Amino acid sequence: MAVDVFSVPIFLVVFREALETVIIISVLLAFLKQTLDGPNRDVKVYKKLVRQVWLGTGLGFFLCLVIGGALIGVFYTAGGNRWENSELNYEGAFSLIASVIITAVGVALLRIGKMQEKWRVKLAVALEAPIRTGGRKGVIKRFLEKYAMFALPFITVLREGIEAIVFVAGVTFSAPASAVPLPVIVGLLAGAVVGYILYKSGSSTKLQVFLVASTCLLYLVAAGLFSRAVWYFEQQKWNTLVGSDAAELGDGPGSYDITKSVWHVNCCSPESGGGSGWGFFNAILGWTNSATYGSVISYNVYWIFVISMFVVMRFREVKGHWPLRKPKSSVAWSRSPPNELDEKSTRDSMSRLTRNLTISPSWYESQLALES
């Protein structure tokens, strides 16, 4: 939406998904390195498994590109200009969708630092599974077992990638097609670079600063989108009422509904005639030269919602339960198998678990056995 060629939300979504993927890969690689690359380990097996990781990643990524390309292609050819009459209603709906998506994704971005841990948990579970079911191996299970190091990144990349595509598609509804490619590429690169730094340095403080900053930006964008969605709906109503495209009236009287106007300055429009700078302002901060009661109130309501959301989440993180709910028994999880626990306690237990995770020799042995 911003400056035609660079959509900020798309960049952030792609960046986030790329980062998550890189983190998974880095966890896998670190895991392999740690367990198989020792002086007494089998270099051949290690290299083979590393190759599996990269192969899975590459294939997953490739498939994502194909699916994404097809989806977006279909969208832009089929979509066309079918919505001209109520164009602003669609823009409003898409802005709303984009805003909701960003709001949901943004939280995760803040917690990317914790993702490595999450993936160690997943890895541990994944590695446990085939061995537990070792007695009744089907073909697929056998395959997955044998190529766990391929399957895991493959499925992860595919999943993250499709997620990103859905998000990008959602967000691009409100952006011109030309605004898509650049942020996607830059997002991928930035995600990869940041992931690599994370993998290499292990320091997460600077990363967190970066994440916090980008998340703040993301929510500013989302607030603007939310407010703009309301604005679009109102403007569509107005255009319908006026009967001609009010945009043709420029910025002046009649281009907006004065009875709903909070402020209107006859300049600085992000919409009409070369609003370039103001367009950027509009994309990042939700600026409009013609604010309505709806757009101003929705902007503020959005922030109240976001603030409450973070406060509540923090409350839960600290207290272990939602506000106004009874706290769960703090020992319950320790008596039950992890797969029956609620997500939160699983995460807690697993994080404790995996911080000290090591490969059991039996798994290692089974791998060797499969090799032979």
Partner 1 sequence: MAWLRPPSLSSLVRQLGFLALASAATVKYDFEIGWVTANPDGMAERSTIGINGQWPLPRIEANIGDQIIVNVLNSLGDQSTSLHFHGLFMNGSTHMDGPSQATQCPISPGSRFTYNFTIDQPGTYWYHSHDHGQYPDGLRGPLIIHDPDSPFKDDYDEELVLTVSDWYHDQMPGLLDFFISKANPTGAEPVPNSALLNDTQNLKISVEPGKRYLFRVINVGAFAGQYLWFEGHNMTIIEVDGVYHQQAEATMIYLSAAQRCSFIITARNDTSENFPIVASMDTSLFDTLPDDLNWNVTGWLTYDSTKPFPDPAVVDGDYEPFDDWTLVPWDNQTIYGEPDQSISLDVIMDNLDDGANYAFFNDITYRAPKVPTLYTALSSGELATDATVYGKYTHPFVLEKGQVVEIIVNNIDPGKHPFHLHGHHFQAVWRSEEEAGTFQDSGVTSANFSEVPMRRDTFVLYPNGNIVLRFLAYNPGVWLFHCHIEWHVQSGLMATFVEAPLDLQKSLVIPQNHKDACSAAGVPTVGNAAGNSVNYLDLSGQNVPPGLIPEGFTTRGIVALVFSIISGLLGVAVIAWYGFVGMADQPAVEPAGAGVVSPADAPVVVAEPKGPTPTEVSLVDGAGGGGTRT
Give residues 319-338 in contact with partner 1 (rule: CB under 8 A). 334, 337-338
Residue matched to tokens 């039996």: 362
Q: Which helix (H) or strand (E) holds 289?
A: none
Residues between 170 and 229 that touch partner 1 (CB under 8 A): 199-200, 202-205, 208, 211-212, 215-216, 219-220, 223
Of 62-70, 180-188, 189-197, 240-248: span binding partner 1 (CB under 8 A): 240-248
DSSP-H helix ranges across 202-342:
205-242, 276-285, 293-319, 332-335
Q: How far from 255 is each of 95, 129, 174, 248, 283, CA to CA, in Å?
A: 21, 63, 21, 8, 21
Distance CA 26, CA 47 (A): 15
**What does the DSSP 8-state code read for residue 291?**
E
Cβ nearer to partner 1, comparing 75 with 310: 310
In the complex, least distance from residue 64 CB atom to partner 1, rounded to whole angstroms? 26
Residues between 122 and 151 that touch partner 1 (CB under 8 A): 124, 128, 131-135
Cβ nearer to partner 1, comparing 68 with 106: 106
Terminal CA-CA length for the chain: 56
Burial class of residue 304 in the structure, from the number of CB atoms within 10 Å of its CB (0-12 exposed, 13-18 middle, 19+ buried)? exposed
Q: Across the strands, what pairs with 261? A: 292
Please tell me whether residue 362 binds partner 1 under the rule CB under 8 A: yes
In the complex, least distance from residue 169 CB atom to partner 1, rounded to whole angstroms? 26
Please tell me whether residue 39 binds partner 1 under the rule CB under 8 A: no
In the complex, least distance from residue 67 CB atom to partner 1, rounded to whole angstroms? 31
Among 163, 310, 328, 344, binds partner 1 (CB under 8 A): 310
Please tell me whether residue 35 binds partner 1 under the rule CB under 8 A: yes
Distance CA 32, CA 288 (A): 52
Residues between 59 and 118 that touch partner 1 (CB under 8 A): 106, 110-111, 113-114, 116-117
In the complex, least distance from residue 301 CB atom to partner 1, rounded to whole angstroms? 9
Per-residue binding letters, 273-292, with partner 1 (x by CB under 8 A): ------------x-----x-
Among 31, 94, 167, 278, binds partner 1 (CB under 8 A): 31
Q: How many CB atoms lie under 10 A from the CB of residue 350?
A: 20
**What does the DSSP 8-state code read for residue 178?**
G
Which among 229, 276, 239 has a CA at the least distance from the CA of 103?
Answer: 229
